[in-house]
Amino acid sequence: MSRPISRIPTEILADILVSAIQSMQPNIHGKAPHWRIRSVCRLWKEVADTTPQFWSEIRFPAVLQADSPIRQLKPKRLEGHLRLSKDAPLSIDVVVAPRPLLEAVPRIAHRLVSLKISMPQASRLEAFVDQLAKSTFPHLRELALESLDAIGTSLSRLHPEVFPILQNLTLRCLRLDFASLTSLKSLTLIAIPAIQPSYMSLFPPALFSFADLLDILAQLPQLTDLTLKRACSHDTSTIARTVELPRLESIYIHNECTQIVELLQSIALRPSTAIILDIDAERSVPFISLSKQSATRSGISPLPSKTGSSMDRPSNR
C-alpha cells in the first residue's frame, strides 16, 4: 500500500517544502534547514533537488557559535547549494558571514535580489563593500550592512551603476555617502549595536548630527519609508530649513534625539504620512510643542516603551 505522502502531486509537495524552509531556523548544532529537510526521505530529496526556489535563500542567525557545523559552511556544501538553486533569484541574510560565502557573492551578483551581511569588524565590512564595487547587481533591491563592533565607520559610496535598482537600504553603526542613491525608497539608520558591549552607555554615540541628517534626506526625494534608531544626535544650533519628501508614507523613530519635534517640523510631509514614535519612558519628548497643523497632518502615533531592540519595525505600524 502506498504511503499517503507519495500520493501528493510533485508540484504541491514542492510548494510545501518551499514554505517549510522559509519558516525554519538553522539548528546551531547541526545541518542547515535545507539539508535537514532534504534528508527526510528519498522523495523529499528528489523534489528538493529539482526545485530551485527551495534553495533560493541562505540564512544564518545571529546566535550561531563560531565552531557550529553550519557556521563553518564548507565550500563544497556552498557550491552544492548554489548549484541546486540553478538560476533562481537569491536572498542572503547572514550574521558573521563565512569566508566562502563572501568570496562567492561577486560571482552570483547577477542573481541576488536581497543581501544582508553583518561583520564583526568594520574593516572587514569595508573591504567587502569595496569588493562589491567591482561587480554589478542588476536585480538587487534590498541591501543591509551591519558592523557589530564599531560606531560610525564610513563606507565608500555605493555607485548607482553597481546597484542600479536598489530601493531598500539598512545601515547599522555605519555612515555612507548618499549622493548616488537618489532613487532610494526605504532607508533605515541604526546606531544601536546588535551586540552591545558592557562598556558602552545605554545610548551609544549617534551616527549623524541633526544638520547632517537633513542633508541626507534632502538627497532622497523618492523616499517613502524612513526608520531612525538613535541615528541623530542632539544639535543645539538652530537650522531654519525644510526638506521636501513628497513621497514619504511613514517615518518610524526609536529612541531618537531630543529634537524630534524640530526634525518633524523640518520635513515637508504629505497629509497622509504616518509617524510612529517608539521612545523609552525616561526620555521625555515635548509632544505638546508640535503645532496642531503638524500633528493633524502627520498622524503621530506614539508607541509604549518596550525593552530590547530589533532591526524590524513593529508589524502593526
C-beta separation of 177 from 149 below 8 A: no
Predicted local confidence at residue 283, as pLDDT: 46
Task: Dig out the grid coordinates for 260 from the structure.
Answer: 524630534
Domain ranges of the chain: 1-88, 91-303
Half-sphere exposure of 119 (CA within 13 A, CB side): 21
The CATH architecture assigned to 91-303 reads Alpha-Beta Horseshoe (3.80)
**Residue 196, SS3 per DSSP:** coil
Kindly report the CA angle at 249 between 246 and 251, in degrees rounded to 5? Answer: 105
What percentage of the chain reaches a pLDDT higher than 90? 12
Predicted local confidence at residue 244, as pLDDT: 85
- For residue 233, give the nearest of 251, 260, 215, 252 by alpha carbon: 260
pLDDT at 198 over 60: no
Mean pLDDT of the chain: 73
C-beta separation of 206 from 225 below 8 A: no
pTM score, whole prediction: 0.77
DSSP label of 272: T
List C-alpha distances in Å: 129 to 119, 159, 164, 191, 208. Answer: 11, 11, 16, 19, 21
Predicted local confidence at residue 288, as pLDDT: 34
Distance from the Cα of residue 115 to its chain's centroid: 8
pLDDT at 19 over 50: yes
At 279-293, the pLDDT tens digits run: 654 444 444 334 333
C-beta separation of 303 from 278 below 8 A: yes
